[in-house]
A and B are shown apart, each in its own frame.
Chain A
């Protein structure tokens, strides 16, 4: 085969006075060329690799998506379907009762509105605060810079379970550095008075069952996975060239002005990524929500949706599967808004991460 290759030298024809046409394969007939191409090892390995890769990707996509399909299928099944041997994925007794019960009895709309308010406010705060902290750590040299970075990593490492008890205690008897206790002793209730404005029980400085604990830990960059966001944004800001800010400073812009008018607009894709993470992790968060909203008469939030509605409680052979299906339906309803948000933002997720150059 190789001898044939060497024999087929370039075939040159003169088209016009100043143009020539070089036909490298002119001497070889089409079928021969095709045969040479198809039966080369390179081509074969490429084909095998492409097919293998595609099959693997399809398989893993199936593994990822199958639980969602089964949840969707199960959510439309009636009670009879769970004891029916012939029913596997397509429901026979099509019903919307599960959705209806969850929507009405578990107060889906209340939970949706409350969680939206909580998640959006917390996620916006987290995004902005993490941006500030990341920028401060990336672009300014001061003595404690490294120490603060270590602290950021520490907040990532320490498990939340360790802090559960004392976090609850802190927000149950909330006072900032003993300030509230002092003022109550003096009879001047400044901080409790302020807190009362925002619907907090003044007598005990009880912040639990309000949005405040979540907002406070968001505003101080201590909320769920904020260490990761700070680290990501720090790496992103380190990639932004210093000359940009220096030219702004030379033109008389202050540090804050530079941050708001130059750096923030520049980092919008990255901020969308962080916001997406913060929003969705806040949305499905169970730990902090249960920690900060322990009372029975609190506002309805997403974790309440994943309960079995009263009207659907039964006791029959397919009970465990049926309850599982109800919970799955609740899960579908919980993630439905997230899916919509993700469909619009997923482009930014990969882009933002790619541009961040986390490698640093």
Chain B
């Protein structure tokens, strides 16, 4: 054991000696480098001072350094945008403008085709423009329904009531769970319609597959004396029968409205109560204006959400077209659809922004 210790000690001495030796030998070199660096530094400094650059180039200011760290934080997104997303978008634009054909022996060639696919989509294709109009019409009818419903539910969920926590948990189930795969399973689900309907069994046939809660006739009787047009009756019954779909699609909107409602100062409501305002007046004079920016956000979100969802009429049509030829036509169609929706959003924002009340924050 002692032998081992000796060995270790001698080895350590030797190593230390070697280190010293290396230090001595390299000292001139490192010294020279250090001196050289100092010289260069002072020379640069003098040069700066002489030429007046020192007044121009300074160590970065706090703002600049903060801007730099800001870039650092968003760097992942910028990289993704530049190297993945923009090329993908440009590619997709290029696909819609080109004709792709496969070459014998593998590989693809692309040739510029101009606006041919756009013309095909709008003029030649038998049902695209019809589907587009149908989709936009559906959108215009759906958006107010979803926004109003989610506002209503958010207002109720914001009040103190029996079992509020349980209701909240239930109402956000669709947001978390009934998306994607479950959505597509739900669309095909004939069983729950069958169980929900009170009629006799029909061995899975589609006749009473739409589990209607009310029929158009009931509402027609109700509305008959009001002199309301038939379209509105159909619209309202459509909405009521589509309630599950509407609930499913209004989860995120409910969350956004809840957040908005929470941010309204209770002092305002208190003042209202003291002044003797009724709940109805309070809603229209306080809650509604304060929540109006959220209404805009939610309306835009609903438009985006429903037009990017795969259950959309136009989207299903486009998806069905993807497999034909190389998919250029489908790409062109989705670009047309995209432009149409952007136009709708633009018009909506332009109109709505005149009515929106922004609370001044100080």
Dominant secondary structure at the A interface: helix
If A65-B170, A358-B260 touch, does A73 touch B185 (CB 8 Å cutoff)?
Answer: no
**Do A353 and B335 have beta carbons less than 8 Å apart?**
no
- A277 surroundings in chain B (CB, below 8 A): 175-176
If A162-B331, A319-B204 touch, does A137 touch B172 (CB 8 Å cutoff)?
Answer: no
If A53-B156, A163-B92 touch, does A280 touch B176 (CB 8 Å cutoff)?
Answer: yes
- B189 surroundings in chain A (CB, below 8 A): 67, 71, 324, 327-328
**Do A284 and B177 have beta carbons less than 8 Å apart?**
yes
Which A residues fall within an 8 A CB radius of B? 50, 53-54, 56-57, 60-61, 63-67, 70-71, 73-74, 82-85, 88-89, 129, 132-133, 135-137, 139-143, 145, 148, 151-152, 155-167, 169-170, 176-177, 216-217, 219-222, 228, 230, 255-256, 259, 276-277, 280-281, 284-287, 302-303, 306, 317-322, 324-325, 327-328, 330-331, 334-335, 338-339, 342, 346, 349-350, 353-354, 356-359
**Do B195 and A89 have beta carbons less than 8 Å apart?**
yes
**What separation, in Å, do the CA atoms of A72 and B322 have in the docked complex?**
36
Judge whether B319 is part of the interface by a CB distance below 8 angstroms. Answer: yes
**What separation, in Å, do the CA atoms of A346 and B176 have in the docked complex?**
10
Q: Which of B83, B156, B181, B307 is in CB contact (< 8 Å) with A177?
A: B83
- A85 surroundings in chain B (CB, below 8 A): 200-201
Contact digits for B328-362, partner A, Cβ 8 Å, 1 yes 0 no: 00110011011001100100000000000000000
Closest CB in chain B relative to A163 CB, distance in Å: 5
A/B interface sample: 12 pairs, CB < 8 A: A56-B156, A133-B76, A137-B73, A140-B67, A142-B68, A152-B77, A162-B335, A165-B326, A256-B69, A284-B179, A320-B190, A331-B186
**Do A148 and B78 have beta carbons less than 8 Å apart?**
yes
Which B residues fall within an 8 A CB radius of A? 63, 66-74, 76-81, 83-85, 87-89, 91-92, 95, 153, 156, 159, 161-163, 167-177, 179-186, 188-192, 194-196, 200-201, 203-205, 243-244, 247, 252, 255-256, 258-260, 262-263, 293-294, 297, 304, 307-308, 310, 315, 318-319, 322, 326-327, 330-331, 334-335, 337-338, 341-342, 345
If A61-B167, A170-B87, A358-B256 touch, does A331 touch B73 (CB 8 Å cutoff)?
Answer: no
Q: Which of A63, A132, A137 is in CB contact (< 8 Å) with B247?
A: A63
Least CB separation from B158: chain A residue: A354
If A67-B192, A141-B66, A162-B338 touch, does A133 touch B73 (CB 8 Å cutoff)?
Answer: yes
- A82 surroundings in chain B (CB, below 8 A): 203-204
- A221 surroundings in chain B (CB, below 8 A): 76-77, 80
Closest CB in chain B relative to A73 CB, distance in Å: 7
**What separation, in Å, do the CA atoms of A357 and B262 have in the docked complex?**
8
If A220-B84, A350-B258 touch, does A328 touch B179 (CB 8 Å cutoff)?
Answer: no
- B194 surroundings in chain A (CB, below 8 A): 321
- A303 surroundings in chain B (CB, below 8 A): 181
**What separation, in Å, do the CA atoms of A353 and B341 have in the docked complex?**
28
Q: Which of B89, B200, B263, B345 is in CB contact (< 8 Å) with A158?
A: B89
Least CB separation from A162: chain B residue: B334
Q: Which of B70, B192, B293, B342 is in CB contact (< 8 Å) with A157?
A: B342
Q: Which of A133, A330, A354 is in CB contact (< 8 Å) with B258?
A: A354
